[in-house]
Chain A
Amino acid sequence: MRFLKSAGSEVIGLFVADWVQTAVIVAIVAAAWYAISGLHAMPLPVLVGLILLLAAQHVWFAVAEARRDARTKPLPSPSPR
């Protein structure tokens, strides 16, 4: 049972590290899909937008995690005099 649990969380962990980031990526892909398939928008501008948004969220979430990490890390203890 423990093995199945860890296999299950391993499979989810393949795709999800941060649920918010995952939701943002899926939303970007869904918006591009809707623009092309639903609204019949010109594909090239949508593709350019898709790449830019995916690249931008990548930068945003990396910087955000680094900031979170800096806030939560304990301050270095003062050096002995």
Chain B
Amino acid sequence: MGAQLFTFGAAFLGSAVESVEALTIVLAVGLTRGWRAPLYGTVAALVSLAVLVVVFGQLIVQRVPESSLKLVIGTLLLLFGLRWLHKAVLRSAGVVAMHDEEHAYQQTVSELQGAVSRRDWVGFVIAFKGVFLEGIEVVFIVVAVGGTSKYFPEAVAGGLLAMLVVAIVGVVVRKPLARVPENTLKYAVGIILTSLGTFWAAEGMGASWPFDFVSIFVLVAAYLGASQLAVMLVRRRPVMA
């Protein structure tokens, strides 16, 4: 039950962060050029992503031996999680600017306003591209988290629910979700994905963890401690003269 909840939660949080970014693009297109084309683009992108999940999910779960699957996907998840965590540490320490949905929204709007004379397919393509590219990360999170843990339906449910919640909030609010603590969420998801990646990669090597799934919490604590140490050291770095 704990493992199922953890899988669902990891897929939900990771997918929610990416969905917020996709929503920003769709809102910018919809509010600037009308809703029909970006909605078609969004639906087309979602269908393409669903096909990817079904095809890769089935292939991975049915064809690849479990230990190889855990080692390869665990390592990829580790790389993916550490990339998010690395960025989150630099953002927390003030080295890299915080991700700002309001800024991303304004940038997309100004790009679109320069292209008003074009036909409506511009709205379709921009919405499709935004949702598809952000959605690739959702697909990876869902397939990696669900395929390796044998809780694929829970991971798919987490990803779908996240997209649904973000879409509903987006329709209600009708402006970019700038108040979502996106950087904090990315920090948390980075730690969770890095821990899951380490856990599965080690299982794929043939090692068994003491206390099985519970040891993920030790991994979470270790990576949280390391990233806090990194933030502290980065903040203390000497200013170059």
Pick the contact of A29 from B75, B86, B240 — CB < 8 Å? Answer: B75
Within 8 Å of chain A (Cβ to Cβ): is B29? no
Closest to A17 in B: B83
A6 with B133: CB separation less than 8 A: yes
Per the bound structure, the CA–CA distance linking A59 and B230 in Å amounts to 5
163-194 of chain B: CB within 8 A of chain A? 194
Within 8 Å of chain A (Cβ to Cβ): is B34? no
Within 8 Å of chain A (Cβ to Cβ): is B225? yes
A7 with B205: CB separation less than 8 A: no
Interface of B is mostly: helix
Q: Give chain B nearest CB distance to A27 CB in angstroms.
A: 11
In the assembled complex, which residues on chain A have CB atoms less than 8 Å from the CB atom of B229?
59
Residues of B within 8 A of A (CB): 71, 75-76, 78-80, 82-83, 85-87, 89-90, 93, 95-96, 129, 132-133, 136-137, 140, 194, 198, 201-202, 204-210, 219, 222-223, 225-227, 229-231, 233-234, 237, 239-240
If A3-B129, A32-B205 are given as contacts, then 7 extra A-B residue pairs at C-beta distance below 8 Å, sorted by A number, are: A37-B206, A54-B223, A58-B223, A59-B227, A62-B230, A65-B95, A70-B239
B79 with A25: CB separation less than 8 A: yes
Pick the contact of B207 from A6, A11, A43 — CB < 8 Å? Answer: A43
Per the bound structure, the CA–CA distance linking A17 and B83 in Å amounts to 6
Which of A3, A6, A7, A14 neighbours the largest number of chain B CB atoms within 10 Å of its CB?
A14
Take A36-B207, A58-B86, A63-B234 as given contacts and tell me if A16 and B79 are in contact as well, using a CB distance cutoff of 8 Å: yes
B233 with A47: CB separation less than 8 A: no
Per the bound structure, the CA–CA distance linking A3 and B208 in Å amounts to 42
In the assembled complex, which residues on chain A have CB atoms less than 8 Å from the CB atom of B194?
54
Per the bound structure, the CA–CA distance linking A58 and B79 in Å amounts to 11
Closest to B129 in A: A3
Within 8 Å of chain B (Cβ to Cβ): is A71? yes
Enumerate the 6 nearest inter-chain pairs by beta-carbon distance, A residue then B residue, closest first.
Answer: A55-B226, A43-B207, A62-B230, A15-B79, A66-B234, A59-B230
Q: Give chain A nearest CB distance to B62 CB in angstroms.
A: 22
In the assembled complex, which residues on chain A have CB atoms less than 8 Å from the CB atom of B219?
51
Q: Give chain B nearest CB distance to A26 CB in angstroms.
A: 7
Closest to B228 in A: A59
Take A15-B80, A55-B222 as given contacts and tell me if A7 and B198 are in contact as well, using a CB distance cutoff of 8 Å: no
A36 with B79: CB separation less than 8 A: no
In the assembled complex, which residues on chain A have CB atoms less than 8 Å from the CB atom of B201?
29, 32
